[in-house]
Copies of this chain bind each other. A is one copy, B any other.
Amino acid sequence: MTVTTTTDRTAPSSTGAAVNPPAAPVVPSLSRLRPLGIGEVTITGGPWATRQATNAAATLGHVEHWLEREGWLGNFDATAAGASGADRAGREFSDSETYKLLEAMAWEHGRSGDPELDARLRAIVARVAAAQQPDGYLSTAFGRPGTPERWSDLEWGHELYCLGHLFQAGVARARTAGPDELLEVCTRAADLVCEVFGPQGIPSVCGHPEIEPALVELYRVTGQRRYLEQARLFLERRGHQVLAEVEFGRAYFQDDVPIREADVLRGHAVRATYLSSGAVDLAAETGDEELLAAVVRQWEATVARRTYLTGGMGSRHQDEAFGEDFVLPPDRAYSETCAGVGSVQLAWRLLLARGEARYADLVERTLYNVVDAGPSASGTAFFYTNTLHQRVLGTVPDADHAVPRAASSLRAPWFAVSCCPTNVARTFASLQTLVATADEDGVQVHQYAPATIATDLPAGRLELRVVTDYPHTGRVEVVVERAPADPVAVTLRVPGWATGATLTDGEDVREAAPGSVTTTRAFTTGEVLVLDLPLQPRFTAADPRVDAVRGTLAVERGPQVLCVESVDLPGERHVDDLVLDPTRAPEDVEGGVRVHGWLRQQADPAWPYGEPTPGGAAGEQVSVLLHPYADWAERGPSTMRVFLPVPGAPSAAS
């Protein structure tokens, strides 16, 4: 890899003393913060370590099993054998699931070194490679007898999207195991893409962004500038109505407004976050501050006006899209698991580029309340969407059948459009790379989990050990295992909600305001910094323009959004019967967070509108246990809600 560092720029520059590029999903040449790779950070315990273990032990095999039984892997064999595509299995983008599995396997193998996993990965790569045509073209859905012609349906065909995921798998493999056959498959395909879609080629883009960040990453691994240039071409073309009009409008695939000019993320939420991620990657390679500022501006508007409390993005089922500003209905939340993954990818890139804690805040919120909500604890069933209000008891999905995009109340094993299992798998497999970063001066810890962090700084090697049972409690100990003789900076993020946090450094106790707290000095082995984050549960209200949750409060605890489920109500009453008492603070108790309120008897009038009466708090007094939203529906069908009504709103006399 050729690292192009520009020394005459005062803004971001990659610093720290790392010689080899880190084994991490995003490695910008220029950035405010330097990512730490798999070798530098290890999550050693706590819920995220459990997730990584489950991912390795259960999810990867589950995904591989379903790809095989649904015939999506077999598509590669059929293509290699020259068979007709007439009876091809799966949707036009099913190849991407294989590539995302490969990416997940690569990161996991990089973490564990498991030779059996390595062998499984190589076996799949061999099947993929066999399906590649001599000129580099690779797709099981296009370009062979019985399938449409190559590039004949850029709006919906997903050929470039699939290749993007292929490249990300190749990058992951190269960064964790060195260049191998998979990277060769990638560069052959990428060379073809540059030829076909280059300056003299087809002047269009893919209906689903993804190849943009992938090409930049492939450039980072290979040093081939044409890949970077092709990513730039794709990014600059989009927004000029290069794709056909579709039912949902061109905003659906962000072809309505050029990315430099847009004000907010819009259209399909996964498409939007992937595209913006690619723009940040491009800006990071080219020092394009204008482009970076455009993405920051859109991210700010999106977070301020179009994001659920959980961090979830997308409120429209029709087109899996962002709604208008402040249209965030809990009961029609789409909040696709994959949009959560996309949002984490975007916020992480912005964190590397700009270094501000707000990006890590959103990463944490989204990891805890969207990405972690998607899969079951078993790692073998998944929510495609993540509603914030379940009104009807769902039916138990058949563990042996794929379902459509499920908006049910229970997680399903597989989907006709099955992007979430693989997206979750690759995120968890590389989760440790989101924990910390470095810069010239020291290390920044962004996410709190039991972990080891070790990297080489200009001043020398710094090794830290994080001891915590966060988010169960808010005490985070950062133990210095090894430190340079000269001063280094240890920066700890203070989440936006953590008003009243303190940092204890020996005898010194400091207030640590939301944002981050930095300790710069020479450290000695065995010294401990203790960050105390106030974790008592808290009520949260919404901006009054979020009409859908007016007159309600949510309950949060640390980074976790909580919810009530009907299985926790007396007699399994419907959650919509619960009225919250806002005068009694939520409290930590054994097994959950307790709130108080009333269970009202709901009359069923003939007409649900009428003369206003003051909203009293009639009904049976109850205390109810709330649990983390991410864990909901683990105990079977349940009604559920995050935002709980408080007394006081006028309602129809009944």
Verify A545–B304 contact, CB threshold 8 A: no
**Bound form: Cα–Cα A548–B317 in Å:** 17
User: Which B residues are in CB contact (< 8 Å) with A610?
Assistant: 540-541
Verify B605–A547 contact, CB threshold 8 A: no
**Bound form: Cα–Cα A543–B391 in Å:** 15
The interface bits of chain A over 634-654 (1 if a CB of B lies within 8 angstroms of the residue's CB, else 0) are: 000000000101101111101
Verify B576–A543 contact, CB threshold 8 A: no
The interface bits of chain A over 327-361 (1 if a CB of B lies within 8 angstroms of the residue's CB, else 0) are: 10111100000000000000000000000001000
Does A589 have its Cβ within 8 Å of any Cβ on chain B? no
For residue A514, give the distance in angstroms from its CB to the closest CB of chain B. 11
Within 8 A of B (CB), among A474-530: 496
User: Which B residues are in CB contact (< 8 Å) with A651?
Assistant: 541-544, 550
Q: Which 10 A-B pairs have CB atoms at the shortest separation, nearest pair first?
A: A543-B608, A551-B551, A541-B612, A550-B551, A318-B318, A551-B649, A544-B651, A541-B650, A317-B318, A541-B652
User: Which B residues are in CB contact (< 8 Å) with A604?
Assistant: 304-305
User: Which B residues are in CB contact (< 8 Å) with A545?
Assistant: 576, 602, 608
User: Which B residues are in CB contact (< 8 Å) with A544?
Assistant: 600, 602, 615, 645, 649, 651-652
Please classify the interface of chain A as helix (H, G, I), strand (E, B), loop, or mixed, using the class held by over half of its residues.
loop
Chain B residue nearest to A579 (CB atoms) is B544
Does A303 have its Cβ within 8 Å of any Cβ on chain B? yes
User: Which B residues are in CB contact (< 8 Å) with A600?
Assistant: 544
Please name 19 pairs of A and B residues whose Cβ atoms are closer than 8 Å in the assembled complex, sorted by A.
Answer: A304-B607, A304-B608, A324-B391, A327-B332, A330-B547, A496-B607, A539-B650, A540-B610, A541-B610, A542-B609, A543-B609, A543-B654, A545-B576, A545-B602, A547-B576, A547-B645, A550-B551, A553-B612, A646-B650
**Bound form: Cα–Cα A175–B316 in Å:** 46
Within 8 A of B (CB), among A294-327: 300, 303-305, 307, 309, 316-318, 323-327
**Bound form: Cα–Cα A548–B611 in Å:** 18
Within 8 A of B (CB), among A268-314: 300, 303-305, 307, 309
User: Which B residues are in CB contact (< 8 Å) with A615?
Assistant: 544
User: Chain B CB within 10 Å — which of A305, A329, A541, A548 has the most?
Assistant: A541
Verify B652–A543 contact, CB threshold 8 A: yes
User: Chain B CB within 10 Å — which of A545, A547, A606, A613 has the most?
Assistant: A547
**Bound form: Cα–Cα A606–B389 in Å:** 24
For residue A65, give the distance in angstroms from its CB to the closest CB of chain B. 25
**Bound form: Cα–Cα A550–B551 in Å:** 6
User: Which B residues are in CB contact (< 8 Å) with A649?
Assistant: 544, 550-551, 646, 648-649
Verify B612–A540 contact, CB threshold 8 A: yes
**Bound form: Cα–Cα A391–B322 in Å:** 14
Known: A305-B608, A332-B332, A539-B650. 16 other contacts (CB 8 A): A247-B404, A303-B606, A303-B607, A304-B605, A305-B604, A307-B608, A316-B317, A324-B331, A324-B392, A327-B331, A329-B329, A358-B606, A544-B615, A547-B643, A550-B645, A582-B612
For residue A34, give the distance in angstroms from its CB to the closest CB of chain B. 26
Does A554 have its Cβ within 8 Å of any Cβ on chain B? yes
Does A566 have its Cβ within 8 Å of any Cβ on chain B? no
Chain B residue nearest to A556 (CB atoms) is B609
With beta carbons under 8 angstroms apart, the residue of B309, B331, B541, B650 that contacts A553 is B650
Verify B611–A538 contact, CB threshold 8 A: yes
Chain B residue nearest to A306 (CB atoms) is B608
Does A140 have its Cβ within 8 Å of any Cβ on chain B? no
Verify A391–B648 contact, CB threshold 8 A: no
With beta carbons under 8 angstroms apart, the residue of B326, B331, B358 that contacts A547 is B331
With beta carbons under 8 angstroms apart, the residue of B325, B329, B554 that contacts A548 is B329
Chain B residue nearest to A613 (CB atoms) is B541
User: Which B residues are in CB contact (< 8 Å) with A496?
Assistant: 607
Does A552 have its Cβ within 8 Å of any Cβ on chain B? yes
Does A262 have its Cβ within 8 Å of any Cβ on chain B? no
The interface bits of chain A over 242-267 (1 if a CB of B lies within 8 angstroms of the residue's CB, else 0) are: 00000100000000000000000000
